[in-house]
Amino acid sequence: MYYQANPYFRNAYPTRQNNNLLKVYGEGSVLAQPDQATVVLGVITENKDLQTAQQTNATQTRNVINAIVNSGVPRENIQTTEFRVNIQYDFQNGTQVFRGYQVTNLLTVQIDEIEKVGEIVDIAVDNGANTVRNIELTVSDKNPYYNQALTNAIQNAQDKATTMAQTLGVSINQVPIRLKEITSMAPEPPRPFVLGVSTESAATTPIEAGQLEIKAQVEAEFTY
């Protein structure tokens, strides 16, 4: 005997839908050893004659670039990121008096040998650089560290959801029905560096790499 289900038959006792949701945010981080640095440095010159200020700046900047290249940094790792000419004034007895022109030429230098950062900064200063804006210590490949931080964030979200469920006296499904990666977290700011006096007899400027904290954050929804 064969039976065919009646498509118009409705169960008098419908299955209860589980619509209770628990939303949590999970955070995770890992520490990474920096292996790369980006340094912004350059030359600032002043003179009442604009052409003289520009020529002096160009000569000093070329000297800085050549010295950095001779220290082992590939030329393609050096990029001009700012060139600016400003008119300088003094104020005497409430009157604006022309002082001269200021020419600024900033270079961004990527240094792949992080242990040589201090040495290269000193070489640049010894050869004409008179401003160092910042040194940013980074990791060349952040993906493995970020992925681990993301794993930690998901586990953190599960732990939070479990704790909240236990407090409420309910059971949750450990697998979230919705998981969203939050990518709007602000990047770590560059580490500042204050330029001091560099001489041939002075020790190399110490730059401590330390460790970077790489973070991840997720939003998760669990049913209970």
Place of tokens 């990121």: 81
Q: What is the CATH number of the domain that holds 182?
A: 3.30.110.170
At position 52, the amino acid (one-letter code) is: T
Same domain for 134 and 147: no
Task: Concatenate the DSSP letters of all residues of 69-117 into one string.
Answer: HHTT--GGGEEEEEEEEEEEEEEETTEEEEEEEEEEEEEEEEES-GGGH
pLDDT in tens, 145-200: 999 999 999 999 999 999 999 999 999 999 999 999 998 644 455 444 444 434 34
202 with 8: CB under 8 angstroms? no
Q: Where are the beta strands (DSSP E) in the chain?
A: 21-32, 36-47, 78-92, 95-111, 131-138, 178-182, 212-223
> According to the model, what pLDDT value does residue 94 have?
83
Contacts of 217 (CB under 8 A, 6+ apart): 25, 26, 27, 28, 153, 181, 182, 185
**Which of 7-16, 41-50, 188-197 is the most confident on average?**
41-50
Taking the whole predicted model, whether its pTM rises above 0.85 is answered as no
Task: Note the Cα 123 to chain centre separation in Å.
Answer: 25
Confidence of residue 40 (pLDDT cuts 50, 70, 90): very high
- Residue 93 domain-assigned (yes or no): yes
- Residue 10 domain-assigned (yes or no): no
Same domain for 58 and 134: yes
Expressed in angstroms, the distance from the first to the final Cα of the chain is: 43
Please state the domain count of the chain: 2
Same domain for 124 and 185: no
Same domain for 160 and 112: no
Query: Among 111, 138, 165, where does a domain finish?
Result: 138
Range of the domain at 174: 20-33+140-199+210-224
Question: CB-based burial of residue 76 (10 Å sphere; 0-12 exposed, 13-18 middle, 19+ buried)?
Answer: exposed
Strand partners, 89: 98
Same domain for 117 and 86: yes
CA-to-CA separations, 67 to 10, 39, 64, 120, 208, in angstroms, rounded: 84, 15, 5, 9, 23
| Rounded Cα–Cα distance for residues 181 and 216 (Å) | 8
Same domain for 166 and 125: no
Same domain for 79 and 166: no
Reported as type and span, the H/E element at residue 167 is helix 143-168
Same domain for 146 and 131: no
At position 67, the amino acid (one-letter code) is: A
Same domain for 152 and 59: no
Mean pLDDT score, 62-80: 96
- Residue 12 domain-assigned (yes or no): no
Query: Among 138, 156, 191, where does a domain finish?
Result: 138
| Rounded Cα–Cα distance for residues 162 and 137 (Å) | 38
